[in-house]
Amino acid sequence: MKRLRTIVLFVVTIGVLATSGFFVSGRSSGSAAQDVKVVNMPTEPVPVAIQGPNNVSISNLPANFFTTNNQYRFVFVEGSGVANVVCTVTEIRGYWLKCSGQVRRANGQTQAFNTWLNANFILTVN
């Protein structure tokens, strides 16, 4: 009888653990998990550490230096090197510039460029 009680107690314990594991596993009766899209506003940019020269700063750049629908030539910090960008600025949000044009990377590769560019990583403007 004692052996039977031990076996029953063991089975009940396993059942309780399995059932509680189901409830604790994070499953909900709501909708299935969905992807989350994070949008960072220009007023709250994602901090990015510069991997190249760490003396890059355009904090004294006039607010109206860049204007939309004008073409600029940038030397831009990219990874541990620099890239040359020739683009037309289509939109400005703080230090973020929406650029459309071409980029020539340090390895000589040239490709189309249509993205947001953080002006804090611009070394020179021609």
pTM of the model: 0.45
Q: Is 83 a member of any domain?
A: yes
Q: Is 105 a member of any domain?
A: yes
Q: Is 82 a member of any domain?
A: yes
Range of the domain at 81: 70-125
Band of the pLDDT at 29, cuts 50, 70, 90?
A: low
First to last CA, the chain: 92
Q: Is 42 a member of any domain?
A: no
Q: Is 25 a member of any domain?
A: no
Q: Total structural domains in the chain?
A: 1
- DSSP conformational letter for 75: E
Q: Is 27 a member of any domain?
A: no
Tens digit of each residue's pLDDT (9 = 90 or more) over 56-76: 445 555 556 778 888 888 887
Q: Is 60 a member of any domain?
A: no
DSSP run (H or E) holding 5:
helix 2-24
